[in-house]
Amino acid sequence: MPIVRLGDYLTIPATGVLSGTPYEWIEEADLADFLASWDDWHRQALARITHRIHPTARIHPTALIGDDVIIGPGVRVWEFSTVRAGSVLCAGVSVGFNSEVTKAFLAPGAVLGHRIGINRTLVGTDAHLSANLTVAAISLWSPRMSQPEKEIIVRVPEGLYRCGTPQFGAVIGDRCQTGNTISLGPGLLIGRDCRIASGVTLTARTIPDNSTVTAPHTADTHIRRRPATR
């Protein structure tokens, strides 16, 4: 089976709040191996870190933070947002207004705009995701989406990559930037320094580094002058 090395997408500093935890090895991990070990890695990290929520983090009083979430230094979580289910927000991450972060890993400096929902997703260093973006983690073709069964499979250059789980959203590489109103996943690998334009829908594929993705209607837009009215 092909290998998807997370270090080909993400850069995680060797020092910081996750130093001495399994997360410091995330760049060396294969995606499917990481997904299978994620819960155990997180339990070990919680047992080893000094501050589950760093004292310099600023969390709005209306935000909801799960008891098993790790939040690093300088993190901002804005109004009415929820971070839960073993998520990790590394140093300098910003989670915008009314967003939902579920079982996600956000690398240092990642920015989520407002009204963003991500699930079972890894976001790279200094990535910037704009408003109204959703990353889905469950296949529509599971018989019952409330109890997902269908394994997530990604098309990679070497063939089909089996994620080994029915719940995986995306890996979004370092310094990626997106427009708004975008639907991603399940099963998506986006390389470093990509640009995803507004209105795009992507799933079950690999986007190479330095790619620009636009929706068909963007290229097909026509502008006509209306007749003058008197």
Q: What is the pLDDT of residues 157-170, one digit of tens each?
A: 999 999 999 999 99
pLDDT, position 27: 95
Q: Which residues contact 222 (CB under 8 A, 6 or more apart)?
A: none
Within 19-112, residue ranges assigned H as helices are 31-48
Q: Is residue 229 part of a domain?
A: no
Q: Is residue 10 part of a domain?
A: yes
Q: Is residue 84 part of a domain?
A: yes
* Number of domains comprising the chain: 1
Q: Are 75 and 94 in contact (CB under 8 A)?
A: yes
pLDDT of 226 strictly over 80: no
Model confidence over 38-89: pLDDT tens digits? 999 999 999 999 889 999 999 999 999 999 999 999 999 999 999 999 999 9
pLDDT of 227 strictly over 90: no
- Written as six digits, the tokens of 21 are 């935890």
pLDDT, position 222: 52
Decide: pTM greater than 0.85: yes
Which residue, among 140, 186, 182, 117, has the nearest Cα to 195 in the 3D structure?
A: 182
Q: Is residue 123 part of a domain?
A: yes
Q: Average pLDDT of 108-135?
A: 97
In this structure, what is the dihedral angle of CA atoms 61, 64, 69, 74, given to the nearest 10 degrees? -30
Residue with the larger pLDDT of the pair 16 and 209: 209
Q: Is residue 222 part of a domain?
A: no
**Which stretch of DSSP H or E encloses residue 76?**
strand 76-77
Q: Distance between CA atoms of 150 and 136, rounded to whole angstroms?
A: 14
Residue with the larger pLDDT of the pair 230 and 136: 136
pLDDT of 153 strictly over 60: yes
The range of the structural domain enclosing residue 114 comes to 6-213
Q: How many CA atoms lie within 13 A of 119 on its CB side?
A: 15
Q: Is residue 118 part of a domain?
A: yes
Model confidence over 175-198: pLDDT tens digits? 999 999 999 999 999 999 999 999
Q: Is residue 230 part of a domain?
A: no
- CATH number of the domain that residue 139 is part of: 2.160.10.10
Q: Calculate the average pLDDT of the chain.
A: 92
Q: Distance between CA atoms of 48 and 19, rounded to whole angstroms?
A: 9
pLDDT of 112 strictly over 60: yes
Q: Is residue 172 part of a domain?
A: yes
Q: Are 98 and 115 in contact (CB under 8 A)?
A: yes
| Residues 108, 111, 113: CA angle, nearest 5 degrees | 165
